[in-house]
Amino acid sequence: MKATINDVAKQAGVSIKTVSRVINNEPSVRQPTREKVMAAVASLNYQPNLAARNLAGTKSYSVAFIYDNPNAYYIIDMQNGILSACKKQGFELLIHPCSAKSEHLIDEITNMVKHSRIAGLVLTPPFSEMPEFVERILALDVDIVRIMSGDKAPDDLAPCIMINDHAAAKSITQHLIDLGHTNIGFIAGEAEHMSTVERLKGYKDALIENNITINDNLIIAGEYSFESGVDGAKQLMSEEIKPTAIFSCNDEIAAGALFASRLMGISIPEQLSITGFENSPFSRQTWPRLTTANQPTPEIAENAASLLIAKSRKQSASHINTQYTPQLVVRDSTCQTS
């Protein structure tokens, strides 16, 4: 027979209310009592019914993750990171894909918030970069934590986990410059994403700091997709001044650029160096493997969820890292220019 909270309370010699406080990670319980309750939980293999707990109480124990991103690897890493924090804190995860361009977006999310009784939302781009949307959701009396590109939060609407794409992009571009490349192409992601803006700015700043003239013909508008990398590489290699290296705004674009280059008979990296960004599985599944910037998405997501849960509980979150700079990972897709 499945153990109940009454069984745990009886074995631990405490009240049901104390068991509930321990399971909910409330800070008011003394450590010896907490250890006694958790020992009973483990002994009885007690599994709290989180859905019933949400319905029974006035507090919510669910975190929502809404997204509009075609990159499956990114979404999976985000989900795993948020879920890790939820499991540690006794929360559930609600996943809700939706379109940022939908004219019914606010109504859709409002209905989701009201019917699911969530404690808060983790917002990733493009939602985290839409201040009017953030304000409308905050008006529903739920907490929000945003994951955003930049070195500091653009406002004080809601807490942010910041990713310094600018510094990482400078590092990648400098790596190519140090290898002797001066004609460096750039294939962008969607222009409305701050990650694209910050990565392009880092690329340009590295060129300027090395007294290399920015050639607008080598900067290609694109999307965060394999197909965009294919099209971008073809366009770059048709220019009168061809690049000897390509900075791709993410690994999926880079994989597409590498594929297109192979079809054009271009040897990688001997004739053309290619870099990605994010260190997703795409960077390790290509041949040669991609030089990239390691963005620890699961860790970022876990910290965002932990920050959200702490905020919902009105607890201190000073231990949570809120600033990340993706680090250069040098692999086989870049080499010295001939």
Which tens digit of pLDDT belongs to each residue from 240-285?
Answer: 999 999 999 999 999 999 999 999 999 999 999 999 999 999 999 9
Q: pTM to 2 decimals?
A: 0.81
Rounded Cα distance between 162 and 279, Å, is: 18
At 115, the pLDDT band (50, 70, 90 cuts) reads confident
**CB neighbours of 126 closer than 8 A, spacing ≥ 6?**
68, 100, 192, 193
Residue matched to tokens 């086989």: 332
- Is 174 a residue whose pLDDT tops 80? yes
Rounded Cα distance between 32 and 186, Å, is: 58
- Is 158 a residue whose pLDDT tops 70? yes
Of 151, 162, 201, 326, the closest CA to residue 251 belongs to 326
DSSP state of 16: H
At residue 328, φ and ψ (nearest 5 deg) are: -60, 130
Pairing of strands 143-149, 184-187: unpaired
Of 108, 145, 110, 111, the closest CA to residue 128 belongs to 145
Residue matched to tokens 């004739």: 271
Please give the average per-residue pLDDT across 111-133, as a whole number.
Answer: 89
- Give the 3-state secondary structure percentages of the chain, helix then strand then coil, rounded to 5: 45, 15, 40
What structural domains and CATH numbers belong to the chain? 1-38 (1.10.260.40), 56-163+296-324 (3.40.50.2300), 165-295 (3.40.50.2300)
Cis before 269? omega within 30: yes
User: Which of 79-93, 111-125, 176-190 is predicted most confidently?
Assistant: 176-190
Which ranges of 45-164 does DSSP label H, i.e. alpha helix? 50-56, 72-89, 105-116, 131-138
Q: Is 328 helix (H, G, I), strand (E, B) or coil?
A: strand
Q: Are 70 and 222 in contact (CB under 8 A)?
A: no
Q: Are 333 and 275 in contact (CB under 8 A)?
A: yes
Question: What is the separation of C-alpha 159 from the centre of its chain, rounded to a whole number of angstroms?
Answer: 15
Which tens digit of pLDDT belongs to each residue from 14-54?
Answer: 887 787 777 666 666 788 888 888 888 777 777 665 544 44
Pairing of strands 273-275, 245-248: parallel
DSSP state of 69: -
At 58, the pLDDT band (50, 70, 90 cuts) reads very low
At residue 324, φ and ψ (nearest 5 deg) are: -130, 140
